[in-house]
Amino acid sequence: MNIKERLVAAIENGTVIDHIPAEKTYQVASLLKLHELTEPITIGSNYPSGKLGKKGIIKVSDKFFTEEEISRLSVVAPNVVLSIIRNYEVTEKKTVETPDKLKGIIRCNNPKCITNNEPMSTIFRVVNKELGTVRCHYCDKEQDIKTVDLV
Amino acid sequence: MFIKNFCYLRTQILHLAQISSMEKQNFVTIADLSKDEILYLISMAQEFEKHPNREILKGKVVATLFFEPSTRTRLSFETAANRLGARVIGFADPKITSGTKGETLKDTILMVSNYADVIAMRHYIEGAAQYASEVAPIPIINAGDGAHMHPSQCLLDLYSIYKTQGTLENLNIYLVGDLKYGRTVHSLITAMRHFNPTFHFVAPKELAMPQEYKIYCREHNIKYIEHTEFNEDVISDADIIYMTRVQKERFSDLIEYERVKNVYILNKAMLCKSKDNMKILHPLPRVNEIAYDVDDDPHAYYIQQAQNGLYAREAIFCRCLGITLDDIKNDKTIIN
């Protein structure tokens, strides 16, 4: 049994999030609001990875994320894989789908945008999923998703 | 039983029609308007040009909230409201608002919504009008939001083009000067996409049309040609020349500014090869980009263009307050 299988098998029921770029591990935890959960959570980082060099893995017991929650990860870690575990077995693998709209997830880069000047939620339309181009619903400024900050 | 069902269905349909007609009509951007909607607003403006003084908005209260001073736009909106019989409240100077005390835009808009039937607002923050339209229970008119949008200026530009050319279709439109930061030229491109224009972008390299608008043109099959020269030969084929101001503060290299500042000045001698129907537009205020010897030339149209703003804004108020073109045509409140 290799290290990955051992990690995946370690929970009875829940979700294992794998292939997280190591430096994004805690952002993924934040986006999924893991700090609000009461279930057992294991966050591992800097594991060796053939593809990524170093990667993070998060295991959450008895928690199955919604599609909306998973789509939030497209902003920081679009290539993660979520394994759904039931009775110690991987029953399903999910990848992240970039949504058409991002609500309340990222900040607008434009300091003159209303979203940076009023207590309100941001809304972005994803105009090019391949290039990762998003457009602010309010100021229309197009920006590269790699250059934006999380809310 | 059949009659009872029929009556119920009829009531439901009428109810739906009522809800649909009661849906809040904002005027925040011109980019979303269809060709028919633009032509409808132009038809309304034509009616208001025939009879600008009416009482069709009698009993209505219009709020003009200028979080950024703009005397010209504010006077135009307030005149439009006054000439249609509405009463006007608002502020022209943001220093006197509660915004300076830390009140949010949302709270200001909700507070004014208690008093007025429609809000025309100017703000220095981009996207402010869109946000206001989402939180306000009454219609919002964008009178300019920073460097973002100025849709009422765009409508008056379209009306001016339509009025002087008799059509919006198949025109050669020359945009001259600051094409990088000039929001009016950007709005004009998006609004004209329905009408098969050929645009000519005449600008120094530092102020050239941004790539995103050139991509927009290509995506919408809008023809465009770029020029850095500005002379009588370049503009000889123009139906419309839309001048904008080249602003010193936009240049990072002041030597470059000194080099180009006098290149994009239109003077009377340059009009010698122009077509008879050609008109010169400018969103105003001008500084020196149109020489004063052009003012008396029949091609000059920028002062009348500002007057068209009154009719365009009368049309915008009526659209937002649910008044139709038929209502305006059959209006019995005209003051002669």
3-state secondary structure of B291: coil
Domain shared by A83 and A108, yes or no: no
Average confidence (pLDDT) over A1-17: 71
Question: Rounded to an integer, what distance in angstroms lies between the CA atom of residue A44 and that of residue A65?
Answer: 19
Domain shared by A66 and A108, yes or no: no
B214 carries an active-site annotation: no
Q: Read off the pTM.
A: 0.86
Average confidence (pLDDT) over A117-122: 96
- For residue A11, give the CATH number of its domain: 3.30.70.140
Angle (CA) A60-A63-A64 rounded to 5° is 115
Q: If you average pLDDT over every residue of chain B, what do you get?
A: 91
Give the residue ranges of DSSP H helices in chain A: 3-9, 25-31, 67-71
Task: Give the model's confidence band at B311: pLDDT under 50 very low, under 70 low, under 90 confident, else very high.
Answer: very high
Greater model confidence, B255 or B273: B273
Domain shared by A11 and A37, yes or no: yes
Q: What is the pLDDT of residues A53-101, one digit of tens each?
A: 999 999 999 999 998 889 888 888 888 999 999 999 999 999 888 889 9
Contact A28, A17 (CB under 8 A): yes
Average confidence (pLDDT) over A113-118: 96
Question: Rounded to an integer, what distance in angstroms lies between the CA atom of residue B287 and that of residue B290?
Answer: 8
Backbone phi and psi for residue A126, each to the nearest 5 degrees, phi listed first: -85, 110
Average confidence (pLDDT) over B241-256: 83
Cross-chain residue pair B127–A114, CB shorter than 8 Å:
yes
- In single-letter form, the type of residue at position A148 comes to V
Domain shared by A105 and A91, yes or no: no
Q: What is the pLDDT of residue B7?
A: 53
Identify the top-confidence range among A34-43, B47-56, B207-216, B253-262: B47-56
Q: Are strands B223-227 and B198-202 parallel, antiparallel or unpaired?
A: parallel
Average confidence (pLDDT) over B283-291: 90
Q: How many helices (H) and strands (E) does chain A have?
A: 3, 9
Domain shared by A13 and A80, yes or no: yes
Q: Residue B218 carries which DSSP code?
A: H
The reply to whether A110 touches chain B by the CB within 8 Å rule is: yes
Percent of chain A at pLDDT exceeding 90: 64
Q: What is the pLDDT of residue B17?
A: 44
Residues of the domain holding A74: 3-95
Domain count, chain A: 2
Q: What is the pLDDT of residue B48?
A: 98
- For residue A110, give the CATH number of its domain: 2.30.30.20
Domain shared by A105 and A70, yes or no: no
CA A111 to chain centre: 25
Q: b/e per residue, B191-209, with b = 16+ CB within 10 A?
A: bbbbbebbbbbbbbebbbb
Question: Rounded to an integer, what distance in angstroms lies between the CA atom of residue A138 and that of residue B24?
Answer: 19
Percent of chain B at pLDDT exceeding 70: 92
Q: What is the pLDDT of residues B11-44, one digit of tens each?
A: 544 444 444 445 789 999 999 899 999 999 999 9
Domain shared by A9 and A81, yes or no: yes
Q: Domains in chain B and their CATH numbers?
A: 23-149+312-329 (3.40.50.1370), 152-306 (3.40.50.1370)
**Which one is catalytic: B4, B95, B101, B332?**
B101
Q: What is the pLDDT of residues B114-154, one digit of tens each?
A: 999 999 999 999 999 999 999 999 999 999 998 889 999 99
Distance from CA of B33 to the nearest CA of A (A): 16
Task: Give the model's confidence band at B5: pLDDT under 50 very low, under 70 low, under 90 confident, else very high.
Answer: low
Chain A with chain B: Cβ pairs closer than 8 A: 44
B122 carries an active-site annotation: yes
Domain shared by A8 and A48, yes or no: yes
Domain shared by A62 and A15, yes or no: yes
Distance from CA of A116 to the nearest CA of B (A): 9
Average confidence (pLDDT) over B95-123: 89
Domain shared by A59 and A83, yes or no: yes
- Which residues on A lie below 8 Å from B147 (Cβ)? 112
Domain shared by A73 and A9, yes or no: yes
Please report, for residues A49, A51, A145, A149, the alpha-carbon distance to residue A21 in angstroms, rounded to integers and kept in the order given.
9, 10, 16, 17
ipTM for the complex?
0.86
Question: Rounded to an integer, what distance in angstroms lies between the CA atom of residue B100 and that of residue B319?
Answer: 32
- Among A59-68, B48-57, B270-279, B290-299, which stretch is predicted with the lowest mean pLDDT? A59-68
Residue B3 pLDDT exceeds 70: no
Identify the top-confidence range among A50-54, B38-42, B281-285: B38-42
Please report, for residues A16, A33, B122, the alpha-carbon distance to residue A88 in angstroms, rounded to integers and kept in the order given.
11, 24, 60
Domain shared by A78 and A119, yes or no: no
